[in-house]
Amino acid sequence: MSSAADLIARFEGFRETPYWDVNALRAGYGSDTVTLADGRVVPVSSGITVSREDAARDLDRRISREFQPSVVNALGQDAYNALSPDQQSVLTSLAYNYGAGAWNKGLRSVAAAVKTPGTEDDIAAIRALGGHNGGINAKRRNAEADLYAGGGQTYGGSSGPEPAPGFDPSAYLAMLEQRAQGQQQDRAWQRATTHTPLRTTDITNALAAPQAQFYGDWLRG
């Protein structure tokens, strides 16, 4: 398995028989599908037994076709290439846990942080996700944050240092969401003022940008 697959397998654990999780039957390494030796992909169903080989094959397939591409799409190829293999694996693990479509939802704050210089915000954003779903995955998020930072921690051992006293995950996520919104507005304003073809969302974001508000106030004044 790839390094990302190995990391995810450590977090998810292996189960050869199906179990219900959130909205589907899952088995293997937390997947609702199984990839057989002949390449066929079949859904997990009651009564089946999943081998480690089939589960590993399924995990590799989904990482290469779903989850790593989702990270690249969220960050851009250059930003993704600039990350270390461990950092790429951590972001792939987040996508696997949250879903490939979560980069504009639950993982939006992480994407915004990774796009900014330095890694402190990235690490804090990953750790802050530990407050989601009642903190059920807080230990996993701490381990991912440590690995992203270069601590080399693995799930099942020490989860690394705890967040600093007084650290408020909700407030931190809100700050990162606000930053992400500001970045979208800045990009939309730049496209609007350089005659770059605009999308509907660009128009909305450009009108909400501080620059637009400034010029509106100036014209009215």
What is the block-wise mean pLDDT of the chain (221 residues), using blocks of 10 residues? 90 96 93 97 97 97 98 96 96 97 96 94 96 94 95 41 50 58 60 61 56 50 49
Contacts of 178 (CB under 8 A, 6+ apart): none
Mind giving me the DSSP string for 135-146?
GTTHHHHHHHHH
How many other CB atoms sit within 10 Å of the CB of residue 21? 13
Query: b/e map of 83-115 (b: 16 or more CB within 10 Å)?
Result: beebbbbbbbbbbbbbebebbeebbbbbbbbbb
Model confidence pTM above 0.75 = no
Q: What is the pLDDT of residue 2?
A: 78
Q: What is the pLDDT of residue 189?
A: 57
Q: What is the pLDDT of residue 22?
A: 83
Q: What is the pLDDT of residue 158?
A: 36
Residue 28 and residue 9 in contact, taking contact as beta carbons nearer than 8 Å: no
The residues with which 26 forms a beta bridge, in sequence order, are: 19
Q: How large is the C-alpha radius of gyration of the chain?
A: 20
Q: What is the pLDDT of residue 166?
A: 53
Question: Directed axis angle between helix 3-12 and helix 138-149, to 10°?
Answer: 150
Domains and CATH numbers, the chain: 4-151 (1.10.530.40)
Q: What is the pLDDT of residue 169?
A: 52
Q: What is the pLDDT of residue 197?
A: 61
Q: What is the pLDDT of residue 27?
A: 97
Residue 153 and residue 159 in contact, taking contact as beta carbons nearer than 8 Å: yes
